Amino acid sequence: MAKSKWEKFDKSVDLKGLNEDVKNADANGGNFPEVPKGTYEVALGSLEMKPTKKDGRPMVSLSFKILTGEYKGQRLFENKVIYQTKNDAQMIKSVMGFLGSMESGVDVEFISYDQFDDLILEIFEAVEGKIEYAVDYNPDEFFKMSIKEVFDAV
């Protein structure tokens, strides 16, 4: 039988214990409190272009993991649809500005959706585990996050 691409993960954990933890997550504080407006030290958790669940339009999706303080371990999320919006050019330009502020060393440009997907993957690979950020977060704003400081990962 061929090995599953997930087999190495299954072998690296106590699956019985993990399943028990999953069942008890809500009862043991699995629901995290909402992260309030503020500045947080974060590391990139995810960055990808993927289809929206509702209608499959291209969307840039990212998350940061909070590294310190009261909300350590929680995530900040941002999703931006970049196709068939009220102003696609402005949405793409604003996403490009955010990607540029990540200081990945990758030139940020939009030529096509396919190229942009490759660019986003390249930025993720350039940043993951190497760069951390101070991010201003405001869950009440349309663009919830802005990068205020960039520094090397510890």
Q: Is residue 23 part of a domain?
A: no
pTM listed for this prediction: 0.78
Q: Is residue 51 part of a domain?
A: yes
> Which domain range does residue 62 map to?
40-152
Q: Is residue 7 part of a domain?
A: no
Q: Is residue 111 part of a domain?
A: yes
Tally of domains in the chain: 1
* CB-based contact 39:105 (threshold 8 Å): no
Longest dimension (CA), the chain: 51
Which has the closest alpha carbon to 127: 89, 101, 94, 92? 101
* CB-based contact 148:140 (threshold 8 Å): no
Q: Is residue 27 part of a domain?
A: no
Q: Is residue 65 part of a domain?
A: yes
Q: Is residue 10 part of a domain?
A: no
Please report the pLDDT score of residue 16 as a whole number.
79
Q: Is residue 53 part of a domain?
A: yes
Q: For strand 75-81 and strand 58-66, is the pairing parallel, antiparallel, or unpaired?
A: antiparallel
Each residue's pLDDT, cut to its tens digit, for the chain (154 residues) gives 556 777 777 777 787 777 776 776 665 455 667 899 999 999 999 999 999 999 999 999 999 999 999 999 999 999 999 999 999 999 999 999 999 999 999 999 999 999 999 999 999 999 999 999 999 999 999 999 999 999 999 7
